[in-house]
A and B are shown apart, each in its own frame.
Chain A
Amino acid sequence: MTDFTKDSAQEGVITRDIHRTFPAHDYFKDSDGDGQDSLYKICKAYSVYDEEIGYCQGQSFLAAVLLLHMPEEQAFCVLVKIMYEYGLSALYKNNFEDLHCKFYQLERLMQEQLPDLWSHFQELNLEAHMYASQWFLTLFTAKFPLCMVFHITDLLLCEGLNIIFNVALALLKDGEGNAEERANSSEASADSFCKAMGLLGMGHRLFVPKLLATSKEDLLQADFEGALKFFRVQLPKRYRAAENARRLMEQACNIKVCWKVTGYCQSLGSEK
């Protein structure tokens, strides 16, 4: 049995991060509030429970999202499940080797599905780790509006860790194609989205709004600094509108991730 009262080597980092996890959220903003107290307990307990990984910066955001849905004991158990059974723990292991593999996979998927944006990023020397580190290490929980974060977490629990590629690609191409095409394709292929949402008791009627610009168009026009600023500022803001968040999630569900391509990383890994 794990002794949760045991000292954790990462105590200092945990304490500092607790104040820096959703500091604007009512439940987490007070230093001596229940939210920070529960968050501290979960992070500390996990750091003692998982001796190999301990606490890794980024985990506190996922733990906080879980805490907004359930009491701390359950949140801890779900965190353990996500780390061990959904495979999130692999991301933090061995000097982030798996994380780097996922960056590589994301770039291959971009090359395949968004070739113009991929070439543009190549020209700018803009690499996936520059914008996707926070996405992957926090499972998109740190910067995006919570309504969208909850959808992503639901999708993860239904479909598994691979949805990080669906969400990342959807963020990069959001709104691609004209409104009519989107409406048609969404009718034809929104099944999986409806299924996922239905499973969660969230069978909203799908709504496909008209868009003025897409992420891809914005990014194609941006230079290096502009693109990074887009990722940090404009992109999270865009999803404050619930319908934009819903459209993005629908798009994420419709993206096909081809594992022949992404599987390449394994052979790359074995060559090393």
Chain B
Amino acid sequence: MAKQYDVLFRLLLLGDSGVGKTCLLCRFTDNEFHPSHISTIGVDFKMKTLKIDGIKVRIQIWDTAGQERYQTITKQYYRRAQGIFLVYDITSERSFQHIMKWASDVDEYAPEKIRKILVGNKSDEVDKRQVATEQGIKLANAYGMDFFETSAFTNHNITETFTRLAEQVLAANKKDLDLLRMSGNEEINLAALEEEEGLYERAASDESKGCWC
């Protein structure tokens, strides 16, 4: 059986309730937009394989409930992730203000090496915009993150955003990857490497089809 991926890692979507985390994910993994999906309760999960510089990268993406109290559940996933999307809604100043809180939680609970990216979603809703693009850029610079404005509705910058974070996680772990490649491991599980525990050695036999939301 041909190996289905070269490396596996986990990304996490964080941000206030209603900023569009689930829609971003559905657009990225299934290229679908469902304006009427159900609220995410607890955590949800999807995956996709990307090809970056000839490397087949399997990413598992965890989608979380945005209500603040759910953080005791979602925090358990911080330490298991290699990359994090901090998502706000450009039509909600409040969701933008909260990015600071989300970022400080990530600093506290996530591994130091974790890569972050700032995402201002719903860029199609120009009439309702409350957060200027410059504010997003400024905040991202302050944290040393990359920044994208996206629209799950129009499919604007979605693949770019997910691919960029995946590239950054790959780059951040390049040394480990090279070492492992030389040792001839068939498939590399960054997630397991960092946790020094178990194993998702085989990729799922079928690609995700259809939207789960």
Of A133-141, A146-154, A183-191, A262-270, the stretch lying at the interface with chain B is: A133-141
- A96 adjacent to B200 (CB under 8 Å): no
| Residue A251 at the chain B interface, CB threshold 8 Å | no
Bound-state CA distance A58–B18 (Å) is: 14
For window 110-126 of chain A, which residues contact chain B by CB distance below 8 Å? 123-125
The A interface is mostly helix, strand or loop, or mixed, namely helix
Q: Mark B44-66, 1 if CB is under 8 A from A, else 0.
A: 11010000000000001000011
A39 to chain B, nearest CB (A): 12
Bound-state CA distance A246–B198 (Å) is: 37
A57 to chain B, nearest CB (A): 5
- A21 adjacent to B38 (CB under 8 Å): yes
Of B69-77, B102-110, B123-131, B172-180, the stretch lying at the interface with chain A is: B69-77
| Residue B205 at the chain A interface, CB threshold 8 Å | yes
The B interface is mostly helix, strand or loop, or mixed, namely loop
Return chain B residues, CB-CB under 8 Å to A124.
198-200
Which of A10, A137, A138, A229 has the largest number of chain B CB atoms within 10 A? A229
Interface bin, chain B:
20 to 34
| CB nearest to B95 among chain A residues | A12
- Select one of B60, B73, B199, B203 contacting A96, CB under 8 A: B73
| CB nearest to A23 among chain B residues | B36
| Residue A182 at the chain B interface, CB threshold 8 Å | no
- A232 adjacent to B67 (CB under 8 Å): no
A161 to chain B, nearest CB (A): 17
Bound-state CA distance A269–B14 (Å) is: 29
Bound-state CA distance A29–B37 (Å) is: 11
Return chain A residues, CB-CB under 8 Å to B201.
223
| Residue B43 at the chain A interface, CB threshold 8 Å | yes
Bound-state CA distance A96–B45 (Å) is: 21
Return chain A residues, CB-CB under 8 Å to B185.
none
| Residue A1 at the chain B interface, CB threshold 8 Å | no
- A16 adjacent to B73 (CB under 8 Å): no
**Can you give 18 contacting A-B residue pairs, CB < 8 Å?**
A12-B17, A12-B18, A20-B36, A20-B37, A23-B38, A57-B39, A57-B41, A57-B67, A57-B70, A61-B38, A134-B41, A137-B42, A142-B38, A142-B41, A225-B45, A225-B200, A229-B208, A229-B212
Besides A23-B37, A99-B73, 11 more A-B contacts (Cβ < 8 Å) are A12-B18, A16-B18, A20-B39, A124-B199, A129-B43, A138-B41, A223-B202, A223-B204, A228-B45, A232-B44, A232-B212
Q: Which are the 5 A-B pairs with shortest beta-carbon distances? A: A133-B42, A23-B36, A16-B18, A95-B72, A225-B204
> B residues near A, CB below 8 A?
17-18, 36-39, 41-45, 47, 60, 65-67, 69-70, 72-73, 76, 94, 197-205, 208, 210, 212
